Amino acid sequence: MNPSEDYDDCKTCFVLEQDVSELEKYIEDIWSFLPIPVAYMTPLGIIIDINKGMEELLRNSRDELVGANLGFFFKDKNEAKMIVKIIRHDSKLQIFDSVIFDSEKEIKNVRIFVMPRLNIKGEIIGVFISFIDMTDQIIAQKQIIIERNNAKLYLDVLTHDINNQNQAIISLLELSKDYEDLNDVTQSDIGIALSQAWAISNLIKNVKMLSDLNQKPIILRDIEINSLIKYAIESVKNSNPEKNIKVELKGLDHLIFVQANDLINNVFQNILENAVKYSLGSHVRIQIKCSIAENDKFWKIEFIDFGKGVKDEIKSIIFNRLQRGEKGIKGSGLGLAIVRGILTQFGGKVLVKDRIDGDYSKGSNFIIYLMRGDSI
Amino acid sequence: MDIFIVDDEPIIHVVYKKILANNGYNILGEAFDGEEALQLIKSMDKKPEVIIMDFRMPIMNGLETTKELLYLYPHLNIIFISADVSVRKEALALGAKLFLEKPFERNGFLKAIELLQTS
C-alpha cells in the first residue's frame, strides 16, 4: 500500500464519520421534533430515552424518566407486564388501549403503539413505545352516547305522552260532533280542531320515524309494491276527501318486487300526499310509471303530478329536513326528508325533475329508484 | 257486552267510558295499573268479555299484565291500545287479540270491539 492509498482510506473514514454524525443529528432532530410522545426502552421496559412529547404527556423531565420502569405509569401494573410478554413473543407492531397516570397522578386514557427493534439476528434489542392521549376523545364519545340516549328518551316520552293526550282531544271532539243542536259554524270549527289534532299526531309520528331511521338495523326483503301503491292511493284519497284525485298507472300490470321493508309504505304515501298538497284546484291528476333502470338492477318509479312544480333553486334542498316547498302550505316539512332517509337505507334514491323539462310550473316528476327483488 | 279498562290516564278512562256507554257497552270495571287490574279481575265472579289494555303503566306494565291474565284466564279477550307501536308484535305474541295505536279514530275503536264480540 502506498502513502497515497493510506491518505485516501483516511479520507473515506473521515467522510463516513461525518455522515454518521450527520445521520445521528438528523435522527435526534426527528426524535425531538415528533409531536407524538415516544419512548425507547429495553425489552424489559426500562426507559432509555424519551422525546419532548413524552415529557409533556407524563409531565416529567427526561432526566427523571430515563432509567425508570415504564410499568410504573400504568394504572394496572399487570397490563405493563403483559405488554412486555407479548413483545417478546411477537415482534410486530402492537396496539393496545390502556389507562396510565402521569407524574401528577392524573389519569389518561391512551392508545399505545409498541414496536420492537431487532438486531441483524432478529433478536429484540429495544422497544419503541408511543402513547396517543385519547382522554378528550373518550370523554367526548361518552358524552355523545349520553346525549343521544337522553334525546331518544325525551323523544320517546314526548311521543307517548302527546299521543295519549291527543287521544283524549280527538275522542272528545269526535263525541262533540254528535250533538244535534250544533250549528254549522261550530261543526266546522270542531272539524278544523280535529284535523289539527291529527296533524300534531302525524308530526310526532314523522319526527319519531326520522329519529329511528338511522338507529335501527335494517333488514331488507322482497316486497311486492303493486298492492302497496294501490293502498297508498286509496289512503291519500281517503285523507283528502275534498279533492277529486285521479291516478293513472303505467307499467304496473305485472307484479313488481323490490328490496325494502315495511317502511316503503311511508315512501309512497309521502310522495302522493306531497303531490296532492301542491296540486292546483280540487282536481288532482297523478301518473305513476314503473320501469327497469340502471342496468336492470333497479326499479324506477315516477310520480308525475300536474301541480305547482318545484323551482330549480329548491330542487336540491327539498329533501332536506324541515324544508318546505312553498309558503302557506301546511305540513311539517318532514315528509320528503323521510322519503330520502328511507330510500337511502334501502340502497335506493329519490330525485325531483320537472314534468316538462325546463318548465317547473307545469308540475313535477318525483323519481325513486329501488333495488330489484329476486322474486319473479 | 262487559268491558274492563286498564290505563293509567284518568282522562283516557273518561274517553273510553263515554264512547262505550254511547254505544251500549257495559263497563264492568276499571284499573289504573296492571297490578290493580289483576287483583280486581281475579276477584270478579263474572269475568269481562273484553279488556282494554294500555302498555306504559306504573307498578306493572300492560305486557306483564297481559301475560299474567292470559296465564290465569286463557280465554280472555284483550285488546291492546297504546301509543307505543314498538310493543305491537310482543303484545300480539303474548295473546292479545288486537292492537290499536293511539291516537285512534272512534269508528276504528268500535269496529275492533265489535270484531272481538263476533269472534
Q: Is residue A306 very low, low, confident or very high in pLDDT (cuts 50, 70, 90)?
A: very high
Average pLDDT of span A13-42: 85
Average pLDDT of span A111-132: 90
Average pLDDT of span A306-329: 74
Of how many residues is chain A composed? 376
Answer whether B56 touches A (CB < 8 Å).
yes
Smallest CA-to-CA distance from A208 within A153, A167, A168, A169 is with A153
Residue A329 has pLDDT above 90, yes or no: no
pLDDT of residue B46: 92
Residues in chain B within 8 Å Cβ distance of A172: 15, 18
Answer whether B74 touches A (CB < 8 Å).
no
pLDDT of residue A3: 60
Instruction: Quick: pLDDT tens for A65-102.
Output: 899 887 888 888 888 888 878 877 777 888 988 898 88
Q: What is the mean pLDDT of chain A?
A: 86
Report which residue type is found at B60.
M
Q: What percent of chain B has pLDDT over 70?
A: 99
Test the A interface: residue of B11, B23, B85 with most A CBs within 10 Å: B11
Inter-chain contact A160–B103, Cβ cutoff 8 Å? Answer: no
Q: How far apart are the first and last CA of chain A?
A: 92
CA distance B108 to chain A (A): 11
Q: Are B76 and B68 in contact (CB under 8 A)?
A: no
What CA–CA distances, in Å, run from B71 to A299, B75, B76, B94, B95?
48, 9, 10, 10, 10
pLDDT of residue A217: 76
Which comes out higher in pLDDT, residue B13 or A28?
B13
Residue A370 has pLDDT above 60, yes or no: yes
Average pLDDT of span A144-149: 90
Cβ density class A333-357: b for 16+ within 10 Å, e for less: bbbbbbbbbbbebbebebebebbee
pLDDT of residue A179: 85
Pick the most confident of A176-180, A209-213, B64-68. Answer: B64-68
Instruction: Quick: pLDDT tens for B79-105.
Output: 999 998 889 999 999 999 999 999 999
Which comes out higher in pLDDT, residue A372 or A296?
A372
Residues in chain B within 8 Å Cβ distance of A197: 103
Q: Tell me the backbone φ, ψ of residue A369, rounded to 5 degrees.
A: -115, 130
Residue B73 has pLDDT above 50, yes or no: yes
Residue A327 has pLDDT above 50, yes or no: no
Which comes out higher in pLDDT, residue A157 or B16?
B16
Inter-chain contact A170–B103, Cβ cutoff 8 Å? Answer: yes
CA A52 to mean position of chain CA atoms: 37
Q: Give the ipTM.
A: 0.88
Q: Is residue A328 very low, low, confident or very high in pLDDT (cuts 50, 70, 90)?
A: very low
Instruction: Quick: pLDDT tens for A236-289.
Output: 888 788 889 999 999 999 999 999 988 898 899 999 999 998 888 889 999 999
Q: Is residue A21 very low, low, confident or very high in pLDDT (cuts 50, 70, 90)?
A: confident
Average pLDDT of span B59-86: 94
CB atoms inside a 10 Å sphere around CB B52: 26
Q: What percent of chain A has pLDDT over 70?
A: 93
Which comes out higher in pLDDT, residue A28 or B112?
B112
> Beta strand A124-133 with B98-101: parallel, antiparallel or unpaired?
unpaired
Q: A207 by DSSP, 3-state: which?
A: helix
Residue A312 has pLDDT above 50, yes or no: yes
CA separation for the pair A287, A280 (Å, rounded): 15
Inter-chain contact A167–B14, Cβ cutoff 8 Å? Answer: no
What CA–CA distances, in Å, run from A295 to A14, A220, A298, A371?
70, 21, 7, 11
Put simply, the chain A residues between 145 and 204 with a CB less than 8 A from any chain B CB are 159-161, 163-168, 170-172, 174-175, 178, 197-198, 201
Inter-chain contact B102–A167, Cβ cutoff 8 Å? Answer: yes
pLDDT of residue A353: 95
Average pLDDT of span A34-52: 90
pLDDT of residue A206: 81
